[in-house]
């Protein structure tokens, strides 16, 4: 064919064709960069954890917080039965209730005594549900309704007083990022052209249906423990957001993939937009200054409980081991999942010359068990929280985490124990 038979395209035509072929990629890529920059800016502004303070071993709780509060902060929320067990033990140590553990069934008996100081909200909620002196509360299957009621009351009291006090999820920044992401997705899909346009109403329909389903499901698991409207709405919205991104990524990508005009790189960009939102939904949460202060103190408390006796006694001003000191610290050890090393330390002290006199007479007046003896105090006391947790589990299903999705910029991890794992604030 002679030269000049076909007119060469103009520069504007070439640019138009380039845009037609690459518009979706360019829009998606630029949008992804904008989203990434925004989230990085937001993380730098509000998502980074306050710097940790100097850790100093300590033998009291920071700011006088209760064992249940220690568990709540350590685990970033309520999870399992450890917080309840620690609160119950603290009531017992204060002489307000007596515990009986026979064959794994735990019975609680209020003593009718009154404390010298106001009780923390969680302990007050438990004591109120137990009734007065002479009452008996059994934690077993025959008493499921009452066990559920006292647990719900306890968790609600803690959540009401402490939610958002120690940790900020920074949801406003998350929702702005989601808004930018939705605009990016819509523009990218529309720019892809062809049959991909049908995905927009379809994905929105799936998103709404999934969000409603998960939000409804969350009502039974989490919202029932929120005692005010703000808590209920917040719980639903958190589940809605997570459900939107977690449940609709693969249907959306699958719908786009069947259209051969959509390039794999565009699918990768869309997947990246979903994943970066999920990532920063967790990373933008951070402890408040108060939360960070208490976390530092709790770390010092954990260190003290874990220290060997000789190292513990080398601490300036540290109290000597005694039955009273052991009992005072036991609920905190339970809250942190450290009841076994703390009980073993007490058992070792009783076996030493310093504790020989106490070993002959020690028997806590707040505890009654079939296999109690001075030679097995460590085993008995470390096993008591497990007995409470087992009784609670047998009486009702283990509670789900009451959480705001905490992960935090610093990557903290919670303690273990007779109950469950982590949670959120």
Please give the radius of gyration of the chain, using alpha carbons only, rounded to the nearest integer.
29
Q: How high is the pLDDT of residue 410? A: 40
Q: How high is the pLDDT of residue 225? A: 42
Q: How high is the pLDDT of residue 405? A: 38
Separation of alpha carbons 177 and 148, rounded Å: 39
Predicted confidence (pLDDT) per residue in 88-100, tens digit: 999 999 989 988 8
Q: How high is the pLDDT of residue 216? A: 47
Helix-helix angle 121-130:67-74, to 10 degrees: 120
CA atoms within 13 A on the CB side of 395: 25
- Strand, helix or coil at 107? strand
Are 190 and 110 in contact, with CB atoms under 8 Å apart?
no
Q: How high is the pLDDT of residue 80? A: 76
Beta strand 137-139 with 105-110 is antiparallel
- Give the position of tokens 């009531």: 91
Q: How high is the pLDDT of residue 371? A: 61
Separation in Å, CA 81 to CA 86, 99, 214: 9, 16, 25
In terms of Cα–Cα distance, which of 401, 360, 417, 424 is closest to 82? 417
CA dihedral 142, 147, 148, 151 (to 10 degrees): -170
Burial class from Cβ neighbours inside 10 Å (0-12, 13-18, 19+) for residue 190 reads middle
- Give the position of tokens 């002489």: 95
Q: What is the side-by-side strand order in the sheet with 97-102?
A: 137-139, 105-110, 97-102, 367-369
Please identify every stretch of the chain with a pLDDT value under 70, giving residue numbers as ranges.
1-11, 13-21, 102-104, 192-264, 266, 309, 354-355, 359, 370-376, 378, 397-425
Sorted by sequence, the CB contacts under 8 Å of residue 9 that are 6+ apart come out as 17
**Helix (H) or strand (E) run with residue 309 in it:** helix 309-313
Q: How high is the pLDDT of residue 231? A: 53
In terms of Cα–Cα distance, which of 365, 323, 374, 388 is closest to 98? 365
The tokens for 100 are 């009986």
Q: How high is the pLDDT of residue 113? A: 84
CB neighbours (10 Å) of residue 261? 12
Q: How high is the pLDDT of residue 419? A: 37
């Amino acid at each position: 064919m002679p030269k000049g038979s076909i007119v060469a395209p103009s520069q504007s035509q070439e640019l138009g064709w380039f845009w037609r072929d690459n518009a979706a990629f360019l829009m998606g890529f630029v949008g992804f960069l904008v989203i990434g920059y925004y989230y990085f800016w937001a993380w730098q502004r509000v998502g980074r954890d306050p710097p940790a303070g100097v850790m100093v071993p300590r033998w009291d709780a920071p700011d006088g917080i209760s064992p249940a509060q220690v568990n709540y902060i350590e685990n970033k929320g309520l999870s399992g039965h450890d917080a309840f067990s620690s609160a119950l033990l603290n009531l017992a140590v204060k002489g307000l209730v007596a515990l009986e553990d026979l064959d794994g069934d735990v019975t609680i008996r209020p003593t009718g005594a009154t404390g010298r100081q106001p009780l923390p909200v969680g302990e007050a909620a438990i004591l109120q549900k137990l009734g007065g002196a002479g009452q008996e509360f059994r934690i077993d299957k025959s008493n499921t309704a009452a066990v559920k009621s006292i647990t719900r009351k306890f968790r609600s009291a803690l959540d009401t007083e402490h939610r958002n006090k120690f940790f900020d999820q920074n949801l406003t920044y998350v929702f702005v990022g989601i808004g930018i992401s939705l605009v990016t997705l819509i523009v990218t899909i529309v720019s892809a052209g062809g049959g991909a346009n049908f995905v927009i109403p379809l994905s929105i329909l799936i998103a709404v249906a999934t969000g409603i389903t998960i939000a409804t499901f969350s009502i039974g698991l989490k919202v029932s423990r929120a005692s005010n409207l703000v808590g209920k709405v917040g719980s639903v919205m958190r589940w809605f957001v997570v459900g939107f991104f977690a449940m609709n990524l693969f249907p959306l990508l699958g719908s786009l993939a069947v259209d051969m005009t959509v390039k794999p790189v565009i699918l990768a960009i869309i997947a990246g937009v979903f994943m970066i939102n999920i990532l920063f939904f967790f990373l933008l949460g951070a402890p408040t200054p108060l939360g960070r202060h208490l976390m530092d103190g709790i770390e010092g408390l954990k260190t003290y409980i874990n220290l060997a006796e000789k190292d513990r006694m080398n601490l300036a001003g540290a109290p000597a081991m005694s039955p009273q000191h052991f009992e005072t610290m036991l609920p905190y050890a339970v809250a942190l999942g450290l009841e076994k090393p703390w009980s073993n330390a007490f058992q070792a002290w009783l076996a030493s010359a310093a504790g020989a006199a106490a070993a002959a007479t020690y028997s806590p007046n707040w505890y009654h068990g079939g296999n109690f003896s001075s030679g097995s105090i460590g085993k008995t006391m470390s096993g008591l929280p497990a007995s409470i947790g087992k009784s609670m589990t047998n009486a009702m299903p283990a509670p789900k985490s009451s959480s705001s999705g905490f992960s935090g910029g610093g990557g903290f991890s919670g303690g273990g124990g007779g109950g469950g794992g982590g949670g959120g604030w």
